[in-house]
Structures are given as C-alpha cells and as structure tokens.
C-alpha cells in the first residue's frame, strides 16, 4: 500500500511489488491472480473494510456527538495504519490520488465506496433526528442537507499545510465546530 501511495498504481510493477514485499513472483501469484487483485485487496483492506467496521455497529439511538466519535474512531484507526508506513512522505494528497485512481479504474470498488458513503449519510441523518428529538440540536434546518455536510467534512479534507503526515485532529475540530453551529441554546 505504501508503494502504491508513493508511486501511484500505474507506476508500480510486479517487480517493484516483489522487492517491496521481499517475496518471489511465484509467491505473489500464489496469493493474487494479478496485480489488479493485489491492488483491490489493498484498497479494500486499508480503506473500505475499516469504514465498514466502524459503521456496522452504530446503535439506532445514536446522537450527533456519538456519530462524531464513531467517525473519529474510524479516522484515528486509519491514521494509525498510515503512520506505520516507513516512508513518511505518504500524505493526504498521495492517498486521495490513489483513491481517485482506484475508483476510476475499478467500478466495483467505487460502487462499494458509494454504498458506504450512503450508509454514512443515513447514519448522520439518524443521529441528527435523534439529537433533534432529544432537544440537543436545533430543528430549523434541513436534516438531509446537514447530514450531507457532516459526511463531506472528511471527504474534502486535505491539510494543504505542507505537512507530510496526515493530521486528522483538524477533522475533529471541523466536526465539533459544525456541531456547535446546530446546537440548541
């Protein structure tokens, strides 16, 4: 995954993968039928499966504050995983470019990501509804639009600050600030 993030999918050869993994070509092909299958496995393992796990155990009575915690838990797990890479040049731009390539090259992966995004928006809607019902947030906004806005906080993240490592604490600040805007006073 680190190699893909740094070099881009199209620039990584089977030989590059063998060297990075320190395995022979036969071993690589024993586990993966081709480079596409390996790439898809990496993308699902690093990006889709963690989000699926985070969103799968959300209770029906979730609140906005709890949903923020769910998303931050997911993002902190992602951050910890990405921090294990040896090369500290892996950053949000590398990862965003890689995801764009993956989704445009592999429609099935894109469809899975879309389903997860729809599930996330639905959970934000539910959290907003529950919080409105409890009286902790205002009722004078379009719940569907605000759910989309919450889901887009992380989707538009790119620190753009010249850092090489990702800093998801900025996302938490954005979630919390947006939550403050809709709170009941």
pLDDT over 60 at 121, yes or no: yes
pLDDT in tens, 133-162: 999 999 999 999 999 999 998 876 554 444
Higher pLDDT, 180 or 86: 180
Computed over every residue of the chain, the mean pLDDT equals 89
Tens digit of pLDDT for each residue in 68-93? 999 999 988 888 888 888 887 887 77
Task: Please say if the pLDDT value at position 59 is more than 70.
Answer: yes
Question: How do residues 100-117 score in pLDDT, each as one tens digit?
Answer: 999 999 999 999 999 999
- 163: pLDDT strictly greater than 60: no
pLDDT at 25: 93
DSSP string for the chain: -HHHHHH-GGG--HHHHHHHHT--HHHHHHH-SSHHHHHHHHHIIIIIHHHHHHHHT--TT--HHHHHHHHHHHHHHHHHHHHT-S-TT--HHHHHHHHHHHHHH-HHHHHHHHHHHHHHHHHHHHHHHHHHHHTSB-SSS-HHHHHHHHHHHHHT----SS-SS--THHHHHHHHHHHHHHB--
Of all residues in the chain, what percent carry a pLDDT higher than 70? 94
Domain range for 44 is 2-52+59-182
Residue 167 pLDDT exceeds 80: no
Residues 113-142, mean pLDDT to the nearest whole number: 96
CATH of the domain at 150: 1.10.357.10
As for how many domains the chain has, the answer is: 1
pLDDT of residue 162: 43
pLDDT-derived band at 15 (thresholds 50, 70, 90) equals very high
* Top-confidence residue, 171 or 149: 149
């Amino acid at each position: 995954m680190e190699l893909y993030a740094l070099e881009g999918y199209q620039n990584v050869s089977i030989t590059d993968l063998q060297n990075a993994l320190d395995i022979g070509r036969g071993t690589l092909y024993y586990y993966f039928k081709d480079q596409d299958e390996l790439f898809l496995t990496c993308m699902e393992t690093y990006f889709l499966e963690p989000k699926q796990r985070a969103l799968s155990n959300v209770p029906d009575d979730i609140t906005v504050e709890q949903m923020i915690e769910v998303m931050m838990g997911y993002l902190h797990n992602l951050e910890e995983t990405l921090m294990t890479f040896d090369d500290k040049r892996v950053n949000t731009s590398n990862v965003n470019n890689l995801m764009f390539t993956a989704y445009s090259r592999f429609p099935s992966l894109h469809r899975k990501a879309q389903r997860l995004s729809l599930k996330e928006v639905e959970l934000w809607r539910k959290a907003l509804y529950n919080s409105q019902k409890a009286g902790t947030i205002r009722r004078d906004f379009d719940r569907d639009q605000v759910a989309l806005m919450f889901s887009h906080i992380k989707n538009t993240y790119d620190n753009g600050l010249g850092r090489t490592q990702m800093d998801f604490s900025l996302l938490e600040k954005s979630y919390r600030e947006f939550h403050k805007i809709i709170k009941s006073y």
